[in-house]
Amino acid sequence: MQASFFLSAPNPLPMELQNHSQMTYQQGAAPFLVCATSGTTVLGAFDPLDEIADICSRYGLWLHVDASWGGSALMSRKHRKLLHGIHRADSVAWNPHKMLMAGIQCCALLVKDNTDLLKRCYSAKASYLFQQDKFYDVSYDTGDKSIQCSRRPDAFKFWMTWKALGTLGLEERVNRALALARYLVEEIKKREGFRLLLEPEFANVCFWYIPPSLRTMQEGPEFWAKLNLIAPAIKERMMKKGSMMLGYQPHQGKVNFFRQVVISPQVSREDMDFLLDEIDLLGRDM
C-alpha cells in the first residue's frame, strides 16, 4: 500500500492498519482512504486489490487505486488478472498516455459514485462562465463538471486511438509490450555481466550491468558503491554518442540500476538485442 491519509475521527482504527499508522492513531486520528497501486513506477508492482478491498469494505474506507501505469493491462484478457478486484475500487486513476500511447497528456479519473460527486465537489456554477438560461439543454456543457477548467479535451485523444486501433489493437499493444519485456528478461539471464533486480510482474525490466572489472569482486559495500556509478556513466556515454536513452535510478536500498520499459509497437526483439549489446559495448572498459 503506497499511502493512507488521515483525518481526525473517533472511530477505532482497524487492527490491520495500526502498524502502519501508530503515531497518528495515538493522536486520535483514523484513516478514511487507502491508496493502492496497480503498477508502481519503478518496479511495476501490483498491490493485491481484493485483499485491500476486503479491509476497506469492512471499515468503510474509500479505496483509491493508482493504476496510472498498470491500468492498461485491463485491455488484455491475458494480463488483466494483475488488477483483479479493481471493480471494487471507489476511484481509479489511469493514464492512457502511458502503455496505450494516447497523445500525452491523457489521464482519466474514474469514480464509482453516480450521484454527481465530482460535480458536487468541483462545480462553482460561475454565472459569468456557465449560463444556465440557454436555449439548449445545458447538461451538455461540460466545463463546470471538470476538475480543471480551461483545459484541452484530453479524452478525445484516447477516443481517437481506440477508434483507430480497436479494442483488439489495444489488447495487442499490451500483450506485445509484455512479451517483449519477457524476451528481454530471458536475454538478460543468458548474458554475462547482466543481472536482473527481480522477476518483473509487468513491463518494467530492472537490471544492473556489471562491467568486467567488478565481476570477480566480492559483493560488499565497495562493490555496491562502485556499481552505483556504472549506470550513470553508461547513460552519459549513450547520450553523448546519441545511440540510446535509457533511464536508471536507485530504489529502496538498491544502487543505480537500469529500467527498460517497452511500450512502443515499433520496437522489436532486434532492438532489445541492440540495447544489451550497446550497454556492454559502452561499459565493458569500466
Ligand X SMILES: *Cc1c(COP(=O)(O)O)cnc(C)c1O
Interacting residues with ligand X (CB under 6 A): 37, 39-41, 66, 68-69, 95, 107
Nearer to ligand X, 68 or 91 (CB): 68
Whole-angstrom distance, CA of residue 144 vs CA of residue 126? 8
Instruction: Yes or no: say if 267 and 274 are a contact pair by the CB < 8 Å rule.
Output: no
Nearer to ligand X, 59 or 69 (CB): 69
For residue 107, the minimal CB distance to ligand X (Å) is 4
Nearer to ligand X, 76 or 95 (CB): 95
For the chain, report the end-to-end CA distance as a whole number of angstroms. Answer: 39
Nearer to ligand X, 73 or 282 (CB): 73
Nearer to ligand X, 66 or 171 (CB): 66
For residue 69, the minimal CB distance to ligand X (Å) is 3
For residue 38, the minimal CB distance to ligand X (Å) is 8
For residue 104, the minimal CB distance to ligand X (Å) is 9
Nearer to ligand X, 13 or 92 (CB): 92
The set of residues, in sequence order, having a beta carbon less than 8 Å from that of 151 and lying 6+ positions away, is none
For residue 71, the minimal CB distance to ligand X (Å) is 9
For residue 106, the minimal CB distance to ligand X (Å) is 9
For residue 97, the minimal CB distance to ligand X (Å) is 8
Nearer to ligand X, 202 or 257 (CB): 202
In three-state form (DSSP H/G/I as H, E/B as E, the rest C), the secondary structure along the chain is CCEEEEEECCCCCCHHHHCCCHHHHHCCEEEEEEEEEECCCCCCCECCHHHHHHHHHHHCCEEEEECCCHHHHHHCCCCHHHHCCHHHCCEEEECCCCCCCCCCCCCEEEECCCCCHHHHHHCCCCCCCCCCCCCCCHHHCCHHHCCCCCCCCCHHHHHHHHHHHHHHHHHHHHHHHHHHHHHHHHHHHHCCCEEECCCCCCCEEEEEECCHHHHCCCCCHHHHHHHHHHHHHHHHHHHHHCCCCCEEEEECCEEEEEEEECCCCCCCHHHHHHHHHHHHHHHCCC
